[in-house]
Amino acid sequence: MSDAADLGTTASSSRALCGRFIDWLTLRYSSPQLAADQLRDVSQYIALIYGIVAANMVFCFWGSWTTISPWVIGAILLPIAAIVTLRIRWWRALPDRVARDGNHDLRSLRITVVIMPVAALALSTMAILACRTWHAMMLETAVLFVMLCVIACMFCLRALPQAALLVASVVLLPHLFFAIRTGAPNELLTIGQLAVLLAIVQVMLTISFRQFRALSESRRALMAERCAALQRADEQQRLARRDSLTNLCNRTHFFDIFDRMMAADDTPFAVAVIDLDRFKQVNDLHGHAVGDQLLMMVGERLRAAGSRSDTDGGIVVGRLGGDEFGALIPAGIDPLAWGEVLCESFARPFSVQELEIAGRCTVGVAQSVEGMRCSRELYGRADHALYRGKAEGRGRCILFSPDDEMRLRSHQTLESVLLAADLEAELDLCFHPVVNTETLAVGGVEALARWTSPVLGVVGPDRFIPMAEDLGIIGQMTLVLLRKVLVQSRRLPTELCVSINLSAKDIVADRIIDAVIAEIKASGFDPRRLIMEITETAVIRNHEIAIPNIARLRALGMRVALDDFGTGFSSLTHLQRLPIDSVKLDRSFAANMEDEVGGKVVAAVAGLCRTLDLTSLIEGIETPAQLRRARQYGYRYVQGYLFAQPMTIEALLRWLDEDRRPPLHGRSLADGRAAGVR
């Protein structure tokens, strides 16, 4: 029972072993990738293999030249030469087909495994028949030569050990058959030795093939890794050129294309700068998630507008940052008409999370000029046209004009002069009185910045203050002016308060607030006499930082006034939430006080300030009637040219000395106004 089981196990193992050998022989274990490498390696040596075969045949038939008819030899060798030539041509064309189809490569290898031993058997048999006419010593030499040729062919087939094994076997078998038939002991011994040698060669080839397969797999893995790295690099390069939110060109890629277009002298084009109107309010009211979705939809509309181009290059549209976009418009498209169509398309509301959001845009356009090489200069023109459009009326397209050219050059000159200015020497102050509406006594003054440039002369604050904010030097300017205020205000009566304007960027800059507090402490000036004026817009932009900074100023003893109330995003929530002491109504409301509606608005603001226990002040009082109205509505303080114009500290001191009775008592308002002009 046990013997039968052992026999069954042995038979099963033998069948499994035979099955694995057949699978190996028929290349079932070869992958398409490995087959491609095998075929490529064999094709490199195929000419050498056929050369060895040809040399072998010539050598064998050369020794039989005297015993075999030349016609017979020619009849044998010429067809073989023709077949060899055709096969060499087929193999030479093979590299172009390798790896295009893995299954085709495997079929080619299997055909080679069949053809090689068949050809070897036929050629070996013919060689034996030809050599049998030789002398015995010559016959052994011929056998040795044939076997050396076989070994050489086996090494050429190192990437295909199946073919090498079959070639060695079929060449050895005819020689063994004839040696056994003749019974020559020397020949049998020679064949035996050659069989051992061929077996050793086959083992070496098998080991070599394992290394070949490992090398092929590692090369494939390396190529796959390289392809993956190239794909990642391509993807990174694509991402580096695209805006992740809108999938438009990003700023870097946009300006790369812009620079290339500028370098092409013979190709006119236009650049457009597109700015979304009220986008910041959308972010503030609905959150950044809604803002991001709005930007994505804006990107879709811009792509649709760019795709309408019928030119080869098309319109290049990119996101330059935030809610600012750019477009490069090639020749053949009217940039102004394109911009107007774009504004019309943006006039349609955007549907975002069940919200209907008005997403109007303003577009500034500038056309390239012959000889201009700098893309930033052309972009600056379009940007200037954009800001002019936003100032004159949003929601339309503005083309850069010659008048814009003059304004831009003036702006650039002002910018360069301001950057080079000696702020300590060139900045000065003027003071504008603040008057109590009941007593007409001066309750304080507002310190106003003035700049006298040795290059440009007197420059108004409405020009240099916004530019200083854009250039990032407003903080430096604020500290210079603060030091001058603290010095000059010591000459004023101690009962007068001094108002100082803080820029929108100052109030949200911790570094500037720290410096302001340090300057006041170092000067020894009573901080209770100081009023810091801030605009509503400055607080809204970044209230998380602005409100704590306001609290720090008030903690030092200073008061804080909300300046230009009514011109920004005025709301009751701001008045209730902001840590302020007083409200200054903008001068534009004073001009409409005589109107019924305008008067009601002014009166309502004064009533609101009384309710919230805030001091109220209205600017722009220029007539006695406006003063009476302001007093009637309940404003505690007023400020305007009715009393005086802004003046230097020396002129202010003279004006105060002349008006100590109290001011304006015993004189007409007109006289008081004239006194301020001196």
Taking only the tens place, the pLDDT of each residue in 104-134 is 677 777 777 777 777 777 666 666 665 555 4
What pLDDT does residue 453 have? 92
- CB-based contact 60:132 (threshold 8 Å): no
Q: Tell me if 291 is assigned to some domain.
A: yes
Lowest mean pLDDT among 77-91, 323-337, 554-568: 77-91
Report the distance separating Cα 638 and Cα 663, nearest Å. 14
Q: Tell me if 203 is assigned to some domain.
A: yes
From residue 206, alpha-carbon distances to 18, 353, 591, 596, 606 in Å are 18, 69, 103, 107, 102
Arithmetic mean of pLDDT, 55-72: 58
Report the distance separating Cα 123 and Cα 146, nearest Å. 10
What pLDDT does residue 672 have? 37
What pLDDT does residue 79 have? 66
Range list of β-strands (E), 393-456: 397-399, 427-436, 442-453
Q: Are residues 64 and 124 in the same domain?
A: yes
pLDDT band for position 237 (50/70/90)?
confident
> Helix, strand, or coil here: 375?
helix
- DSSP 8-state symbol, 421: -
Q: Which residues contact 61 (CB under 8 A, 6 or more apart)?
A: 68, 73, 76, 77, 130
What pLDDT does residue 678 have? 26
Question: Which CATH number do you get for residue 461?
Answer: 3.20.20.450
Q: Are residues 343 and 274 in the same domain?
A: yes
Q: Tell me if 238 is assigned to some domain.
A: no
> Helix, strand, or coil here: 509?
coil
Q: Are residues 545 and 636 in the same domain?
A: yes
pLDDT band for position 669 (50/70/90)?
very low
Q: Tell me if 239 is assigned to some domain.
A: no
Structure tokens belonging to residue 372: 């201009």
DSSP string, 153-207: HHHHTTT-HHHHHHHHHHHHHHHHHHHHHHT-HHHHHHHHHHHHHHHHHHHHHHH
Report the distance separating Cα 515 and Cα 533, nearest Å. 17
Q: Are residues 259 and 161 in the same domain?
A: no
- CB-based contact 608:572 (threshold 8 Å): yes
What pLDDT does residue 201 have? 78
Q: Which residues contact 225 (CB under 8 A, 6 or more apart)?
A: none
Q: Are residues 277 and 216 in the same domain?
A: no
Structure tokens belonging to residue 277: 């109107």
Number of structural domains found in the chain: 3
What is the torsional sign of CA 403, 406, 409, 411? negative
> Who has greater pLDDT, 333 or 75?
333
Find the DSSP H helices in 570-663. 572-577, 587-590, 596-611, 624-633, 649-658
Q: Are residues 455 and 395 in the same domain?
A: no
Is 512's pLDDT higher than 90? Answer: yes
Q: Are residues 512 and 604 in the same domain?
A: yes
The pLDDT tens digits for 322-342 are 888 999 998 888 888 898 888
What pLDDT does residue 143 have? 64
Q: Are residues 552 and 646 in the same domain?
A: yes
Report the distance separating Cα 496 and Cα 530, nearest Å. 9
Last residue of a domain, one of 370, 400, 430: 400
Q: Tell me if 5 is assigned to some domain.
A: no
The pLDDT tens digits for 188-200 are 777 777 777 778 8
Q: Are residues 464 and 387 in the same domain?
A: no
Q: Which residues contact 547 (CB under 8 A, 6 or more apart)?
A: 539, 577, 578, 579
From residue 480, alpha-carbon distances to 457, 473, 559, 648 in Å are 19, 11, 21, 17
Q: Are residues 453 and 540 in the same domain?
A: yes
Arithmetic mean of pLDDT, 162-180: 73
Question: Which CATH number do you get for residue 257?
Answer: 3.30.70.270
Last residue of a domain, one of 336, 370, 400: 400
From residue 604, alpha-carbon distances to 34, 371, 563, 610 in Å are 89, 59, 17, 10
Q: Are residues 204 and 295 in the same domain?
A: no
pLDDT band for position 652 (50/70/90)?
very high
Rg of the chain (C-alpha set): 49
Q: What are phi and psi for residue 331, nearest 5 degrees? A: -60, 150
Q: Are residues 522 and 387 in the same domain?
A: no
Report the distance separating Cα 173 and Cα 178, nearest Å. 9
Q: Which of 596, 597, 567 lies closest to 583 in space, CA to CA? A: 567
Q: Tell me if 42 is assigned to some domain.
A: yes
Is 451's pLDDT higher than 90? Answer: yes
Structure tokens belonging to residue 466: 């916004």
pLDDT band for position 666 (50/70/90)?
very low
Find the DSSP H helices in 442-504. 461-471, 474-488
Report the distance separating Cα 227 and Cα 237, nearest Å. 15
Range of the domain at 298: 251-400
Q: What are phi and psi for residue 430, nearest 5 degrees? A: -125, 155
Q: Tell me if 414 is assigned to some domain.
A: no
Q: What is the 3-state secondary structure (H, E, C) of 332-363?
A: CCCHHHHHHHHHHHHHCCEEECCEEECCCEEE
What does the longest C-alpha to C-alpha distance in the chain come to?
156
What pLDDT does residue 308 have? 44
- DSSP 8-state symbol, 93: T
- Average pLDDT over the chain, rounded to an integer: 79
How far apart are the two ends of the chain, measured CA to CA in Å?
136
Lowest mean pLDDT among 40-44, 210-214, 387-391: 40-44
Q: Tell me if 346 is assigned to some domain.
A: yes
